């Protein structure tokens, strides 16, 4: 049995040797000719990439100004240079109320309640989602805003703001009922 395998192996070696001896390298003539023609042709031209302008970042320089979509607050100075100084100033000794921790823009009037004796109280929602009852005489907003009137659809306040000359000036403000909350 080993003789049969040795004979087959010897036959395989002979066939491979015969095939190698018969090849003279003439089988690649057409490929060599094609490669020579391709090398002789002129090379192609690739256009250079277009130049792009560098990105210039825009610097927004009006960040400290009033937002363009909010109505301007009309502050009228009641003092003139030749008039005596105003005696308006906030009461810094009184205890601050809860709604004075919020900016007036972050507070929304969401409804009213009729209190004892027919006095009207307003419901105000803060930016944290809490609802507070307020009435005439309460304070709200960060500018010492005192409530001077509560109506069915609005709260009227008087704020005390700096006038820019070291004094204070009163400014009327209104917080309207937010009809979309309901």
* Domains in the chain, CATH or no CATH each: 99-176 (2.30.30.830)
Q: How many CB atoms lie within 10 A of CB 126?
A: 16
Q: Report yes or no on whether pTM surpasses 0.75.
A: no
Average pLDDT, whole number, for the chain? 82
154-176 pLDDT tens trace: 999 999 998 887 888 999 999 98
Tokens of 178: 């937010």
């Amino acid at each position: 049995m080993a003789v049969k395998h040795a004979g087959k192996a010897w036959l395989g070696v002979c066939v491979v040797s015969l095939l190698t001896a018969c090849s003279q390298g003439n089988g690649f003539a057409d490929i060599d000719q094609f490669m020579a023609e391709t090398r002789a042709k002129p090379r192609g031209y690739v256009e250079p990439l277009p130049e792009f302008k560098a990105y210039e970042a825009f610097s927004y320089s009006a960040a400290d100004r009033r937002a363009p979509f909010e109505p301007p607050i009309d502050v009228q100075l009641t003092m003139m240079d030749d008039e005596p100084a105003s005696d308006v100033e906030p009461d810094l000794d009184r205890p601050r109320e809860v709604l004075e921790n919020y900016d007036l823009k972050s507070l929304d009037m969401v409804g009213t309640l009729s209190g004892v004796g027919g006095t009207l109280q307003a419901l105000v929602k803060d930016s944290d989602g809490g609802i507070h009852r307020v009435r005439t005489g309460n304070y709200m907003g960060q500018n010492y805003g005192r409530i001077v009137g509560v109506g069915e659809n609005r709260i009227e306040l008087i704020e005390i703001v700096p006038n820019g000359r070291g004094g204070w000036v009163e400014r009327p403000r209104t917080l309207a009922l937010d009809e979309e909350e309901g």
